[in-house]
Amino acid sequence: MTREKFVVEGLGGAKTLRGAVAVRGAKNAALKCLAASVLFEDTLVCTNVPDIEDVRRMGELLQVAGAEVTTKDGVVRVSPPDFAQATSGKPNSAEATSGKPSAWNTSLDQTIAKRMRASIVMTGPMLARMGEVSFPYPGGCVLGERPIDLFLAGFTALGAKIVEADDFFTVRAPQGLRGAHIFLPIVSVGATETLMFAAALAHGETILENVAMEPEIVAEAELLNACGAHIEGAGSPTLRITGTGGVPLKANGAVFSIIPDRLEAGSFLILAALAAEDVTVTKCEPKHLQAVTSSLARAGVSLEIGTDTIRVRASEKPYQSVSVRTHEYPGFPTDLQAPMAVFLSQCEGDATILETIYDGRFRYAEDLRRMDADMTVMNPHQVLIRGPRKLERANLESPDIRAGLAYLIAAIIAEGTSSVDNAYLIDRGYEHIEDRLSSLGLHIKRESSN
């Protein structure tokens, strides 16, 4: 793969961007809904799916596992192996037409799984559907300690047996999973989704307590319920799931639309606050962005909030610093704290960002200091930011998806021409970002960095 970088002509603090930028479907919802397709006996069709690297990797993971995956114009269709063979009229064996998903490969591809953290969510559907799954320790962005103990403990509670060898796990429940009462010691989006998917096909009732409440989880539960699952309480701290007793779900031709990406929308709002003369973020869900819009409004950003749009116009008054504490939804998203740090570097006064979810997520501070931002990492969970400071050009390298986007925002408001290397990481979460920013009047291009 050719290594690429973004080259950005900074605005030097000027607020000149104009126009509208549409939000794509939520990466975190799309990945998990595609993973949940393993629970289905027929084709799952998802629309408004973002054209990003992580979605392509999830598609590859499903294909290696035996599914048929087709993608066109934001529509992704996933068919289980036996269904794809039966509908094509070309079964590979007698087993392929027996109604059993015997062609599923229950060992997740190690290369793909180690590159993408979201791969672990596929273990729940595979275990529930096939009674067995093998997988490596998952990869993805390095964001401090991200243990999988919650997943393994949940599988054990549901009656599965686990064998570990050299960071490779094999989980078996040949007689099917059994409902259980599970309390998550810490709120985890991934564990909530994975165990919810697993419990959907279990025998009996499962109660999950202290679960995540993200909008993506609500959307996923609605999808499963529309196709035969019985999940109550999505969007609250407790999920009550009545399993189907091993009966797979059925889409029956239904089409599921991925909800708007609140993290992408929040990133665009922060960029607009810093660099827009008049920019409207469209096709978003403002109700999912209240923690972000509230913080920006307190800082003095002019926001006009509509049904599915948010308009940002330049303010004559300087922005005032506001301290931020990341928290599970509905709190301020941890994935937006790096872009918010760039915003706070342009505000008057001192502010802190308190990171309550991950450690090791302030690695971007050193690079932003190279651009003359005044940032001091107080400890692994807190950074102090003093502003305003004019940022200077720099050649940077994306450390992860969200910090990479923060670097682009910093480059946009800086003096001179900057570059952000390792574009692949940004591509993992943001669809054709250079084209969309160019439409607002920014001079940005993609170049080979080799």
pLDDT at 82: 77
Residues 207 and 323 in one domain: no
Query: Could you tell me the pLDDT band of residue 102, with boundaries at 50, 70 and 90?
Result: low
- Mean pLDDT value across residues 288-306: 98
pLDDT, mean of residues 285-290: 98
Span of 1-5, 16-20, 317-321 with lowest mean pLDDT:
1-5
* Chain segment 170-224, per-residue pLDDT in tens: 999 999 999 999 999 999 999 999 999 999 999 999 999 999 999 999 999 999 9
Q: Between 73 and 99, name the one with better pLDDT.
A: 73
21-40 confidence digits (pLDDT tens): 999 999 999 999 999 999 99
The single-letter code of the amino acid at 299 is A
Instruction: Say yes or no: 242 and 350 in one domain.
Output: no
Tell whether 159 and 64 lie within a shared domain.
yes
Peptide bond just before 388 cis, omega within 30 deg:
yes
In a 13 Å sphere around the CA of 133, the CA atoms on its Cβ side amount to 29
Instruction: Give yes or no for residue 100 having a pLDDT over 60.
Output: no
The pLDDT value given to residue 106: 95
Least Cα distance to 208 among 242, 232, 181 occurs for 181
Task: Let me know: does 7 contact 447? Beta carbons within 8 Å.
Answer: yes
Please state, rounded to an integer, the average pLDDT across all residues of the chain: 93
Residue 330, pLDDT above cutoff 60: yes
CB count, 10 Å around CB of 99? 12
Question: Are 270 and 328 within one domain?
Answer: yes
What the block records as the tokens of 50 is 């973002």
Domain boundary (257, 285, 313) is at 257
Q: How many domains does the chain have?
A: 2
Residue 99 has pLDDT above 50, yes or no: no
End position of a domain, from candidates 257, 272, 303: 257
- On whether the CB atoms of residues 444 and 7 are closer than 8 A, the answer is yes
pLDDT at position 141 over 80: no
Looking at the structure, do residues 187 and 284 belong to the same domain, yes or no?
A: no
> Residue for token digits 């309480």?
233
> What are the residues whose beta carbons fall under 8 Å from the beta carbon of 165, sequence distance 6 or more?
none
Domain that holds residue 211: 27-257
Q: Report which of 164, 213, 163 is spatially closest to residue 193, judged by C-alpha positions.
A: 213
Q: Are residue 40 and residue 157 in the same domain, yes or no? A: yes
Distance CA 28, CA 259 (A): 10
Same domain, 117 and 245: yes
Do 50 and 19 lie in a common domain?
Answer: no
Average pLDDT over residues 99-109: 73
Considering the domain architecture, whether residues 43 and 184 belong to the same structural domain is answered as: yes
Active site residue 141: yes
Q: Cα–Cα distance between 382 and 114 in angstroms, integer? A: 29
CA dihedral 217, 220, 225, 229 (to 10 degrees): -90
Question: What's the pLDDT score for residue 378?
Answer: 95
pLDDT of residue 96: 38
Residues 152 and 215 placed together within one structural domain of the fold: yes
| Section 48-63 average pLDDT | 96
| Contact (Cβ atoms closer than 8 angstroms) between residue 116 and residue 105 | no
**Distance between CA 274 and CA 387 in Å, rounded?**
13
Are both 188 and 316 inside the same structural domain?
no
93 pLDDT tier (thresholds 50, 70, 90): very low
Q: Which of 56, 213, 163, 204 lies closest to 119 in space, CA to CA?
A: 56
Q: What pLDDT, in 10s, does the model give residues 65-91?
A: 999 999 999 999 999 997 755 555 444
Alpha-helical regions (H) of 251-363 = 262-275, 290-299, 337-344
Asked whether the predicted pLDDT for residue 142 surpasses 90, the reply is no
Pseudo-torsion of CA 281, 285, 286, 290, nearest 10°?
-120
pLDDT of residue 139: 57
349-397 residue pLDDT tens: 999 999 999 887 899 999 999 999 999 999 999 999 999 999 999 999 9
Here the tokens at position 4 are: 């690429």
Q: What is the DSSP string of 193-257?
A: HHHHHHHHTSBSEEEEES----HHHHHHHHHHHHTT--EE-TTSSEEEEE--TTPPB--TT-EEE
pLDDT of residue 167: 79
Domain endpoint, select from 200, 224, 257:
257
* Contacts of residue 432, Cβ cutoff 8 Å, sequence gap at least 6: 51
Indicate which residue of 141, 227, 284, 347 is catalytic. 141
Phi, psi torsion values for 145, nearest 5 degrees: -70, 130
State how far the Cα of 54 lies from the Cα of 36, in Å rounded to an integer: 15
User: Given a cut of 80, is residue 150 above it in pLDDT?
Assistant: yes
Task: Report how far residue 418's alpha carbon sits from residue 403's, in angstroms, rounded to the nearest whole number.
Answer: 15
Q: What is the residue whose two structure tokens read 């007689």?
A: 175
In order of 67, 252, 254, the CA distances from 42 in angstroms are 11, 7, 11
Q: What is the CATH number of the domain that holds 187?
A: 3.65.10.10
Q: Average pLDDT of 110-120?
A: 86
Confidence (pLDDT) at 255: 94
Q: Are residues 182 and 103 in the same domain?
A: yes
pLDDT score, position 85 = 53
Predicted pLDDT of residue 146: 45
Confidence of residue 341 (pLDDT cuts 50, 70, 90): very high
Half-sphere exposure of 231 (CA within 13 A, CB side): 30
Nearest one of 124, 108, 118 to 157, comparing CA atoms: 124
Rounded CA-CA distance 167/162 in Å is 12
